[in-house]
Structure 1
Amino acid sequence: MKIAIWIRELMSGSQFHMAVALVCATAGLSASALAVPAEAGVVPAVRGMSTPGVGEAPEGFGTGMLLWGPPGSRQPLPMLDLHVEIDITGLMVHGTVSQAFKNPTLETIEAVYVFPLPEKAAVHHMEIRIGERRIVSVIKEKEAARQTYQTARREGRKAALLEQERPNLFTIAVAGVNPGEEVHVRLEYVEELTYASGTFELVFPLTYSSRYGPSPSPGSDADHRSGQTILPAVAAPPRATLTVRLQAGLPLAEVTSKSHDIESRWDNEVLVIEAESGAPFAADRDFHLRFTPQVGHEPEAVLLVEDRDATRYALLMVFPPSHAPEMTGLATETLFVVDVSGSMSGPSMRQARAALAAAVKRLHPDDAFNILAFNDGVRVFADDYVAASEVEREQAYSWIQGLTAGGGTRIDLALEAALELVELHETWRVERIVFMTDGAVSTEDAVLERIRSRLGKARLHTLGIGAAPNRYLMRKMAEAGKGLCDFISRVDQAGNQIDLFLSRLSRPVMTDIELTWEGDVPPDTYPQRLPDLHAGEPLILSARFAPGAGQGRVVLSGRLAGGPIRRVLDLGGSPGHATGIATRWARHKAGDLMDSLHQGADPDLVRRDVIEVSRRFGIVTRYTSLVAVEEFPTADGVNLQIRVASAVPGRGQLPLGGTHEPLMRLVMMLCAIAAGVTGLVGHALRRGRPGRGT
C-alpha cells in the first residue's frame, strides 16, 4: 500500500506522462545510438512502408532485392540459395530456376522478387511450394491475373503473380508469407542459343546489373519507382548451383566457359556440364557457356521433333560450313540504299556515312556495287553497277562524305528506283539491296507489298539507323526480302556493329533454298520465306503439322558456289522427345499475330488469338500473366512488401542495414519496462481512488 501511495505521488499530474515518455524516449535513443548492420535472423518489418508494387522494379538496386524500411532508407535483406538446371536440345534451351526465400520479419509480408532471365526467354510454368503444399500457376489475361492475385492477397491466401517487366526482367510477387516461413518458387522457361562464327553461346544472368543514379527526395514518384544509390557491398553474395545437359544434334569440337570453371561428363548421348564441379558458388556474375559443333565442308542439316497433344512440331536447323574457304562464297552485286532525309540529321547521318564506307571497303574485286541516296528525291553514285575496284571504291568514299541530311522521307520512291535498277540489270552474281534508314514512313504496308511482288531473286537486307528506328518495318522488310536485319543506335558503337552486320551478309554460302514436304500437307512454318544461308549464321525454321501428319520426308535444296545441293531428312523416323520445339513455334505464332496489328488487323481478334495461343502453350505474352493461388486462407495478418536481394555483378551483396536482433531485444525490453510501469501506476491509481458511495 505504501508503494502504491509513493508511486501515485511521484507520478501525479504531468510527471506520470513524463515518466512514460522518458522510458520510451530512452528506448528510441538506444535504438538510434546502437544501430549496426543487421545479422541473419528475425528482423522487424516496418508497417506502412512504401515499396514498389507488383510490376514495378526499383532501378537503383540490383535485381531481386528483398527490401524493408521507410522510403528513402530501404535496405536489402539476404537472399537464399539459387538452383539452375538447363537442358539444351539443338539450339533450344529449357531452363528451370528454383529459388527459396524466408520471411525474416515478425509480420506477414508480401515478398516481391524481381529477377533476370535471358533476353529472349519465354516463361511457361511457375509453382510455389510452402511446406508440403504445392501451388501451380495458370495462364490468365493480365488484368484478370492481377485481380485474382490481389483478391487472394486481401483474403490472406498464398498467391504468386509473374509478369514481364522488360524483355529480360520478370517479377514474382508472393503474398501472405507468415513470419519465419520459407517459400520456394520454381519457374520454367524456354529460349534460343545465340550462334555466331560457328559457335553456340549460352548466357544465364545470375545477377542483374544495377542502374546507378542520385537518390531522389523521399516520397517523390522517382523515389517510389527508381530506388536509390547503391552503397558499398559488405555481405556475402547468395550461393548458386548450375547444371547444363547438352544434346547438340551434331558432334562437338569444343565446350568452354569464360566465366566459371566447368566439369563435364557423358550420360549416353547427353553431355552433362556442371559449373564449379557442382558445388555451390557465389552468384555474383553471369554464367557463360560456349560450344562449337563439328561441321564439314558443306552445310549440315539437323531435324528435331516434338510430339504434343497429338500434334507434331519440328525444328529444322541448317548450319553453314565452319571453315569454308573464301572462294566458296558467291560473288555479289550490291545496291546500297541510304536515307539522307531530315530525320537522319546529326548522329544518324554520321552513322550512315560510316556504315556505307565500311560496306564498300569490304567488297571484293569480283563484286559489283552502286549507291542510291534518297530523301524526297533520289540520286545515284553511278548510272549502272560498277566493279569494286580500288579506283571505284576511292571515288565512292568521296561521294559518301558529301552526303548531307535534309528533306522528306520517300522510301517508296527509293524502293521503286532500286527495284527498277535490279529488274533491268541481268547478272550472274547474287543480287542484294542493303537498305539503311530510320524507317520514318507511314506507308508500311505498301512498302512491304512492293518488296514481296517485285524483288525477284534479289535479297534485301536492312540496317536500322538512329536512336528510334521503325523496328517493325526494318524487320519486316528484311523478312520479305529474305535478308538480314540489324540496328545501330549509338555512334560510338557504329564501327563494331557495322562490321558484325557486314560480316554476316558478306557472301552467302547457300542461296535459293527450298523445302519440299513429301507425303505431308505443308505445315505452318516460321519464317514463311527462307533467307539465304550465310557464313557463321544458321538457318532455323519452326513447323507445326496438322494432327496426325508429320511422318513423311523433308527435302532441302539450294545452290552452292560449286553447284546445286540436296538433302533428305526423315520426319517419320525422328523420335518426338525434343523439348521446347512446340513452344518456339507458339512464340513465333504469337509474334506474327502481334505484327498483324501493323497491317490493320482487328485488335480485339488479335488479342483473342494471342490469348488462345498463350493459354494452350503456357507462355507469358503482352496480354497474359501466370498466377498461382492456394485454395484456403492460411496467412495470418496483413501483408507488407519486401524484396529479395541478389548480388551486384562482380561484387558481394548490397549492404544489409537496420536494427539487429540483440538490439531489438533491448528495445523490446525497455518498451516492456515502460508498459510495466504504466500498468503498475494505473493499478495504484485505481486502488487509491475513492470508491462510489464512500
Structure 2
Amino acid sequence: MVMPPAKEVAAARLPREVIFVIDTSGSMSGSSIAQARDALELAIARLAEQDSFNVIEFNSYAKALYPDARPASAANRDNAVRWVRRLQSQGGTEMALALNLALNGRENPGRVRQVIFLTDGAVGNEDGLFKLIQDKLGDSRLFTVGIGSAPNSHFMGKAAQTGRGTFTYIGKIEEVKEKMGQLFAKLESPVLKGIDIAWPGSGRSLAEARAGPVSGRADRRFRPAGQSRGRDPPLRPARRCAVAGNAALGLRAYWPRHGRAVGAREDPVPHRQPARRRQGGGRARRGRRGRPRPPPRQQVHQPRRGGQDAGAPEGG
C-alpha cells in the first residue's frame, strides 16, 4: 500500500486544475459573503505556478472569470483577487448552473482537478443536484465549504461524498484562515492519481469499482479495483488509510479501513453465548420453550429387612 510522504516534497507534486465556485445569492448577504470572499482570496494566494485555476460565481445565473482555466501566474492571481473583492450577494440560488460550468465530466490526464464550492447550501432540489454531480463529475473531486451560521450541512456533506471530496464548515469569520489553511494544506499535496490494483491468477473479485481518486497527505478515501486469484493479496495492511465500502468478508485478506487494519475471514462464525451451567456442574437441561428443566428425582436404593432388596421377590 502506497502511503503519503511524511514531509512535503515539492518536486513530487502533481499539477492541479482548481475551480473555485462562490455563492453570491441573496442568502449569503452580510457576514457570509465576507467570509466567502476572505476564504477565496486565501485560496487563490496559495496556488502554485504549476497549477491552473478559474473562479465561478453564481446567484440567479452563473458566470466564470475566464473562459477556461488559466495558469496561476502572479498576474492572473492578482486579477482574480480584484474580481473576487467586487462580488456582492444578490438574486437567487441556481446551483445547477454553477455545477454545470465547474464539472466538465472529462478525464484530465496528468493533472489533478479539484472543484472547491463555497456556499451556505440553501437549495431545494437536492436530489437533482446529487444526480448532476454524479453524472458530470468525471475524474474531478468536489470539496464543499459551508459558510455562515447555519449552512445546509446535510446537503453539503452528501454533495462532497458524491463528489469524492470532503466538507469543511466555517461558522465565524475568525475561523476562515485556520480552517481554509487546513483544507488547502491537504489539497495542495496530491501524490497519486488513478489508483488501480490487480493481482495475478484467477479467482474471486475483490471489488467492483472504478479507478480510485487521488491519494494525498490527508486521510483520503479510495476504492481498490482488483482481484484475488484464490490467494492472499501481496499487500501489507496500512496504518493510515480509509477504504470506502465494506470489507471483503468472503476472503482471507487484510484491508486497511478507517485508520486501522481489519482482517477478513472465510465463513465467519456467529457469536454464541456460553452454555448455562447448574451450580453442581454440567449443562442445564432445557425444555421445548427454552425453560430450564428441573433436575430428575433421585431414587434412593434401600435394602429391606432380612437382607433382601426392595425389588426382589419374596420367597416362600
**TM tier relative to shorter chain:** 0.5 to 0.7
Deviations, residues 294-325 of structure 1 (Å, cap 9, x unaligned): xxxxxxx3xxxxxxxxxxxxxxxx63011241
Q: Distance in 1 between matches of 2:108 and 2:212?
A: 23
1:89-488 pair list within 5 angstroms: 301=1, 319-420=3-104, 423=106, 428-488=110-170
Which residue matches 2:233?
A: 553
1:609-688 pair list within 5 angstroms: none
Q: Distance in 1 between matches of 2:102 and 2:84?
A: 18
The alpha-carbon deviation at position 520 of structure 1 amounts to 2.7
8 Å CA contact 2:39–2:176 kept in 1: the answer is: yes
The amino acid across from 2:172 in the alignment is R
The alpha-carbon deviation at position 412 of structure 1 amounts to 0.8
Q: Distance in 2 between matches of 1:438 and 1:369?
A: 22
Cα pair distance change 1:383/1:456, threshold 3 Å: same
The alpha-carbon deviation at position 572 of structure 1 amounts to 3.8
The amino acid across from 1:329 in the alignment is R
8 Å CA contact 1:331–1:507 kept in 2: the answer is: no
Q: Which has the higher contact order (CA 8 A, sep 6+)?
A: 1
Which residue matches 1:538?
A: 219
Q: Distance in 1 between matches of 2:155 and 2:208?
A: 23
Q: Distance in 1 between matches of 2:152 and 2:177?
A: 21
Q: Distance in 1 between matches of 2:70 and 2:221?
A: 34
Q: Distance in 2 between matches of 1:333 and 1:374?
A: 20
Q: Distance in 2 between matches of 1:554 and 1:442?
A: 48
Q: Distance in 2 between matches of 1:369 and 1:505?
A: 14
**What secondary structure does 2:27 align onto?**
helix
Cα pair distance change 1:573/1:506, threshold 3 Å: closer
Cα pair distance change 1:540/1:367, threshold 3 Å: closer
8 Å CA contact 1:508–1:532 kept in 2: the answer is: yes
Cα pair distance change 1:430/1:539, threshold 3 Å: closer
**What secondary structure does 1:468 align onto?**
coil
Q: Distance in 2 between matches of 1:418 and 1:517?
A: 36
Which ranges in structure 2 are unaligned for 5 or more consecutive residues? 237-250, 263-269, 272-316
Q: Distance in 2 between matches of 1:450 and 1:515?
A: 28
8 Å CA contact 2:194–2:211 kept in 1: the answer is: no
The alpha-carbon deviation at position 530 of structure 1 amounts to 4.3
**What secondary structure does 1:431 align onto?**
strand
- The structure with more strand, counted as a fraction of residues: 1
TM-score by length of 1: 0.32
- Structure 2 residue aligned with 1:491, among 164, 167, 173? 173
Q: Distance in 1 between matches of 2:97 and 2:15?
A: 28
Q: Distance in 2 between matches of 1:482 and 1:465?
A: 20
The alpha-carbon deviation at position 574 of structure 1 amounts to 5.3
- Alignment root-mean-square deviation, CA: 3.4
The amino acid across from 1:373 in the alignment is E
8 Å CA contact 2:54–2:68 kept in 1: the answer is: yes
Q: Distance in 2 between matches of 1:574 and 1:366?
A: 38
8 Å CA contact 1:340–1:405 kept in 2: the answer is: yes
8 Å CA contact 1:484–1:505 kept in 2: the answer is: no
TM-score by length of 2: 0.67
The amino acid across from 2:68 in the alignment is D
Cα pair distance change 1:344/1:522, threshold 3 Å: same
Q: Distance in 1 between matches of 2:56 and 2:198?
A: 37
Which residue matches 1:500?
A: 182
Q: Distance in 2 between matches of 1:434 and 1:480?
A: 14
Cα pair distance change 1:551/1:365, threshold 3 Å: same
**What secondary structure does 1:337 align onto?**
strand
8 Å CA contact 2:103–2:137 kept in 1: the answer is: yes
8 Å CA contact 2:215–2:222 kept in 1: the answer is: no
The alpha-carbon deviation at position 521 of structure 1 amounts to 3.7
8 Å CA contact 1:319–1:538 kept in 2: the answer is: no
The alpha-carbon deviation at position 551 of structure 1 amounts to 5.7
8 Å CA contact 1:436–1:462 kept in 2: the answer is: yes
8 Å CA contact 2:143–2:166 kept in 1: the answer is: yes
**What secondary structure does 2:191 align onto?**
strand
The amino acid across from 2:15 in the alignment is A
The alpha-carbon deviation at position 529 of structure 1 amounts to 8.3
Deviations, residues 600-622 of structure 1 (Å, cap 9, x unaligned): xxxxxxxxxxxxxxxx99xxxxx
The amino acid across from 1:337 in the alignment is V
